Structures are given as structure tokens and as C-alpha cells.
Amino acid sequence: MSDLFRSGEPIYLQLAERIKRQITRGELQLGEKLPSIRDMGIAVNVNPNTVQRTYRELEGLKIIESKRGQGSFVTDDEHVLQSIREQMKKEAISRFVQGMREIGYSDDEIQAGIESYLAGKGAPEQ
């Protein structure tokens, strides 16, 4: 996990997003134990208090579960995973469409561009 964070957004939220992406990509499995707060802090080069806040945020979203004396674990509820994936998809699409509209593309042009890209006509050449 890279220790680079963007300025302007709280580190704990950026770290929470990284963990959510790891879960949706399958890098972290349902029910898998997360690194301890201290170990995660060392791995991403942040203060353990920041990691603790990240874990609390994810726990509040029911993405992870803390078990007293055992640590923190990715939820084993597949519905939560599907909900996370759907939310992240909607957010990514929203950012993309908003950006395209800001540079002057109509919805029809955006849709045609996506269809062309997915058909392989807009993919970068190897």
C-alpha cells in the first residue's frame, strides 16, 4: 500500500477508500483479519490514531467488524460488499460524467464515446 496521500482530503477517509477498493477487488476477502492498528500505521506511514479513526469509520459503515481481543475483520456479509461496489460504481460514473459535461460534452456524446471505447475503438494502442 503506497503511503502517498492527496492534500485537501482527510487521510483517514483516503485510507478508508483504499481499504474499500481492496475489498471490492478481492484483495481483502470477506471475513479476513485486517492488520492491527499499529501495523497498518507503519505500513502506510500514518499515525495509529489516524488508522483507528479509519477503522471506526469503516465499522460505522458496517464494512469491518471489531472483535474484542481479536482485532478488526472485513465483514462476511456479501450484501455489504455488493452495496459498496454499487456505491463506488455510481460515484465513479458521476465524477466521470460531471467532468465530461464540464468540458462541453452532451450526454449523447458521452454515451457514444463510452460505447466506442468499450468496443475497443478508443483503447490506447499497445
What is the predicted pLDDT for the residue at 2? Answer: 45
- Is pLDDT above 90 for 1? no
pLDDT band with cut points at 50, 70 and 90 for residue 4: confident
Q: What is the pLDDT of residues 15-40, one digit of tens each?
A: 999 999 999 999 999 999 999 999 99
Over range 53-69, report the average pLDDT: 95
The 3-state secondary structure of the chain reads CCCCCCCCCCHHHHHHHHHHHHHHHCCCCCCCECCCHHHHHHHHCCCHHHHHHHHHHHHHCCCEEEECCCEEEECCCHHHHHHHHHHHHHHHHHHHHHHHHHCCCCHHHHHHHHHHHHCCCCCCCC
Over range 66-92, report the average pLDDT: 93
pTM of the model: 0.78
Nearest by Cα to 74 from 2, 1, 24, 5:
24
